[in-house]
Structure 1
């Protein structure tokens, strides 16, 4: 019996190839599917499977390429895991240390779960490309890690139970940081004074709802790109640092619920991009800046529960985009009718209660058709409650108590026909 003929391949020129070349082609053909559909890195998959054993509701299967698992994203080659995003999955318990084996991770989002306990030691030490970390809305505790990746741009630890002092060394490497949100925790000590010198690209800085104390340090003027600056509801004292008024990019300045003293500088008018100025619940004094009207984009002004005096600056009427004006519980005075509210067409809520305003209720205020709530209680207003109130179609709350209005019968007849009004407070008026 003759031996079988060797398998030959022919090109277009019918040239025969050596059998070893044939074997090489066969190997390439067998390998080709593997090269084009490579599974994710075995160490990444093992790390994720170890991670998943701690949580019963992660249905990841070793029989499937981990790049296809829910919440997992891989690089362009479909090989290394670069993203882990599993918010709102009901995860309970501690963060497993196996997470740090995902050395190519660049995006991490475990927010809105029920994770507890401190972060694993050295959690961030192996990440060389990590730019986003969101662990917000969990129950994590302990201090801020001593070492954070220098590649971080977005860091959100808000709404947890983290505590301790923020060490300057923890932030020194974060030169690319854009967002830092550690609000609603239990951090103590002073605000790090060098944060803007180490992270000059910051856009959002939120330290609110913690237990920080001491003065707000100078130095925030170095954050030339800062848009949101929030230190509210801490135990901060001293004066508002004036260098913050040089951050022309600011859109929100929020310092409520502290023990700040002194005046608001006239230089605050430099912040022409400001949309929200919130400083209620402090011990601020002096007059409201005369040139506040230069903040033409202002939508929210909340200075209530302070010690401001003097009159309302006429320039305030230039803030034509104003939607919320709350100045109650101060010592402001003057005739309200001297102010022309007619330009404030977007005004929805105005609260000037518990001050010393006098005169009649301004008719120009009643031309603000977007009003939903008016509080003028506990002032020195007099005269009549005008029937023009009926021309405020969305008004649902009206409090004029503790003044000296006199037309009770007419007022009640008028107001009883208002279709949207649900809350009406007229007590301590209508004497004799």
Structure 2
């Protein structure tokens, strides 16, 4: 994915919640409003009762309910978005009985608890699943791999535990996978080096968990176009194979792990903008190739690096905190190297 395409994709994801809400309101310019499908309304009333959604008024067409969008031609519910609400309970299995649902967005619901129900796997047309900033728990379910149309999956900021299901790599259209800020343990699945998505490797967010062991070597065979964030885990060993001159990854965060490799031998893609390696056991020197990069963020502090910081590019635009607490790194913006 080119940088411009990646930026457009990001913009779409950021604006989607607001777009969903906007589309849930009737437009004065549209004279023919969709009439609520009777079967969908029956299901929605079950969801309303399970979650105590007071804003859904039964006497009003369900296509006009807050957070809902219906297809104008079929009148079937295609989007359900609930966020910043005081609803409580668990995700009702009835959600799986909305067969035309494409977007399921339930976020920032602190009283939404329990596990993801298996009924979710029936939503064969689902492309966007976001369940972040809730209090969901239990395992990340392997049945999510049955949702073959998913391009976005976000389960971050919850209390999911256990290992990452290897089957998630079977999602052929996935563009972003967010499992960060949970309580996940075990290794990154070896299968994650086999995402089949037509050359579009998904952005990978696994930070703030308790993952252990080495990164699968298979990830080095992928060409990430956007983000790899593995920070704040207990991962170890070599991570240098994630980089390469021909790679197109823009943002890499490996900070606060136990990685140990020779940085001086690493070649970085020149289009990379963010590189965070702080708090590891990385040794060697900073490679000269860094001066060719237009880095917006760089942090290599708290490692075992030595030698002079290369002079040039924008490496001197970062303050000393980006480099300090290394074995013998020196040169601006750190104190001069001893002769």
Please give the range of the TM-score, normalised by the shorter of the 2 chains. 0.7 to 0.9
TM-score (norm 2): 0.83
Query: Residues 146-197 of structure 1, C-alpha deviation per residue, up to 9 Å, x if partnerless?
Result: 212011100000010001111212x143010000010000111111122241
1:205 corresponding residue in structure 2: 204
Deviation for aligned residue 1:37: 5.4
Deviation track 1:199-221 (CA, whole Å, cap 9, x = no partner) reads 44234110011111000111224
Measured in 1, the distance between the counterparts of 2:204 and 2:316 equals 25
Aligned residues: 301
Once the two structures are superposed, residues 22-75 of structure 1 have per-residue CA deviations (whole angstroms, 9 ceiling, x without a partner) of xxxxxxxxxxxxxx6552221211111111113334311221111111100011
Shift of 1:222: 3.9
Q: Is the 8 A contact 2:251 2:272 kept in 1?
A: yes
- Give the alignment of 1:210-289 within 5 angstroms: 210-245=209-244, 248-269=247-268, 271-289=269-287
Q: Which has the larger radius of gyration?
A: 1
CA change 1:321–1:145 in 2 (3 A) is farther
Q: Which runs of 5+ in 1 are unaligned?
A: 1-35, 340-349, 360-379, 381-432
- Please report how far the alpha carbon of residue 227 of structure 1 lies from its aligned counterpart in structure 2 after TM superposition: 0.9
Residue 320 of structure 1 deviates from its aligned partner by: 7.0
Corresponding residue to 2:192 among 181, 195, 209 = 195
Residue aligned with 2:107, SS: coil
Q: 1:237 to 1:155 in 2, by over 3 A?
A: same
Question: Which secondary structure state, in structure 2, belongs to the residue aligned with residue 53 of structure 1?
Answer: helix
Alignment equivalent of 2:297, drawn from 273, 286, 300: 300
User: Which structure exhibits the higher relative contact order, with contacts defined as CA atoms closer than 8 Å and separated by 6 or more residues?
Assistant: 2
Q: Residue 272 of structure 1: CA displacement?
A: 1.1
C-alpha distance in structure 1 between counterparts of 2:141 and 2:285, whole Å: 43
- Tell me the CA shift for residue 255 of structure 1: 0.2
TM-score, structure 1 as length reference? 0.65
Deviations 1:385-413 (A, max 9, x none): xxxxxxxxxxxxxxxxxxxxxxxxxxxxx
- The equivalent of 2:176 in structure 1 is 179
Is the counterpart of residue 95 in structure 1 residue 94 in structure 2? no
Q: Which residue of 1 aligns with 2:20?
A: none
Looking at secondary structure, tell me which structure has more helix per residue.
2
Change (3 A) 1:333 1:125: closer
Q: Is the 8 A contact 2:36 2:75 kept in 1?
A: yes
Where does structure 2 lack aligned partners over 5 or more consecutive residues? 1-31
> Does the Cα contact within 8 Å between 1:310 and 1:331 map onto a contact in 2?
no
- SS of the residue corresponding to residue 142 of structure 2 reads coil
* 8 Å CA contact 1:299, 1:321 repeated in 2: no
